């Protein structure tokens, strides 16, 4: 069987397989040579110069490179992270304060919704009393179950007091506001709903 033509043919195929040129590997080798050659052209003079430096000069350049690397690392990674950590407690306190304010306002809104409305006559009387405190800077007009307050140079504190009295005494709900602020105070209109209307 060892001398059969079939075995000879198989040995020939094996021999041909071994001797086939590897086109892919030779292409990769050529590309590797092309890439390495320019790098060698650049690095060889630099390495020659480096080797020609005295030990003290090499140590100084190494130290300078390490300092620059450390500064780059600090400026791009460590410094910004530390700044974020320093600001985090202040931002947390600010967010906590805003959250508590929102909770307080939500509770106040629920309380106002649950408060029963006053009859229109009682609400109107309370609004007129609050408006009288504004003097000639405030004028109240009725439009059904809405009251329109026309303001002319009202101070922020006086407007805040009027709103508080309108909300608590008249159970009025602000519906619309068109106000402008100037050095003299607030001017414009403020519409509130009274007596269960909207």
Per-residue pLDDT of the chain (198 residues; tens, 9 = 90+): 455 555 554 555 454 445 444 444 555 555 555 555 677 777 788 788 888 888 888 899 899 999 999 999 888 888 888 888 899 999 999 999 999 999 998 998 788 777 777 787 888 888 999 999 999 999 999 888 889 999 999 999 999 999 988 888 888 888 899 999 998 899 999 999 886 544
User: What's the rounded Cα separation, in Å, for the pair 134 and 136?
Assistant: 6
DSSP state of 117: P
Nearest to 130 by CA among 78, 192, 181, 68: 192
- Quick: pLDDT tens for 124-168: 888 999 999 999 999 999 888 889 999 999 999 999 999 988 888
Distance CA 70, CA 93 (A): 34
Whole-number pLDDT of residue 23 = 45
Contact (Cβ atoms closer than 8 angstroms) between residue 145 and residue 192: no
Share of the chain above pLDDT 90, in %: 32
Expressed in angstroms, the distance from the first to the final Cα of the chain is 109
Of 182, 178, 145, 139, the C-alpha closest to 162 is 139
pLDDT recorded at residue 19: 47
Residues in the chain: 198
What the block records as the tokens of 58 is 């090499």
Q: Are 172 and 125 in contact (CB under 8 A)?
A: no
Separation of alpha carbons 187 and 168, rounded Å:
23
Q: Give the span between the Cα atoms of 151 and 184, in whole angstroms.
A: 11
Distance CA(29)–CA(61), nearest Å, equals 36
pTM value > 0.75: no
Task: Classify each residue of 168-178 as buried b or exposed e, where b means 16 or more C-beta atoms within 10 Å of its C-beta.
Answer: ebbbbbeeeee
The reported pLDDT for the residue numbered 30 is 58
Instruction: Quote the pLDDT of residue 11.
Output: 54
């Amino acid at each position: 069987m060892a001398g059969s033509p079939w075995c000879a043919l198989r040995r020939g195929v094996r021999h041909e397989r071994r001797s086939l040129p590897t086109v892919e590997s030779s292409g990769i080798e050529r590309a590797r040579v092309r890439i390495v050659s320019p790098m060698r052209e650049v690095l060889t003079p630099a390495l020659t110069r480096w080797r020609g430096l005295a030990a003290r000069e090499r140590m100084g350049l190494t130290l300078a490179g390490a300092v620059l690397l450390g500064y780059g690392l600090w400026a791009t990674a460590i410094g910004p992270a530390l700044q974020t950590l320093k600001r985090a407690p202040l931002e947390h306190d600010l967010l906590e304060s805003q959250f508590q304010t929102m909770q307080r306002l939500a509770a106040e809104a629920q309380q106002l919704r649950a408060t029963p409305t006053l009859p229109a006559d009682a609400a109107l009387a309370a609004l007129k009393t609050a408006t009288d405190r504004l003097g000639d800077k405030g004028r109240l007009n009725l439009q059904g179950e809405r009251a329109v307050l026309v303001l002319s140079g009202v101070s922020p504190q006086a407007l805040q007091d009027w709103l508080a009295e309108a909300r608590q005494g008249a159970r009025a709900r602000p519906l619309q506001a068109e106000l402008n602020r100037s050095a003299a105070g607030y001017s414009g209109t403020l519409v509130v709903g009274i007596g269960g209307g909207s």
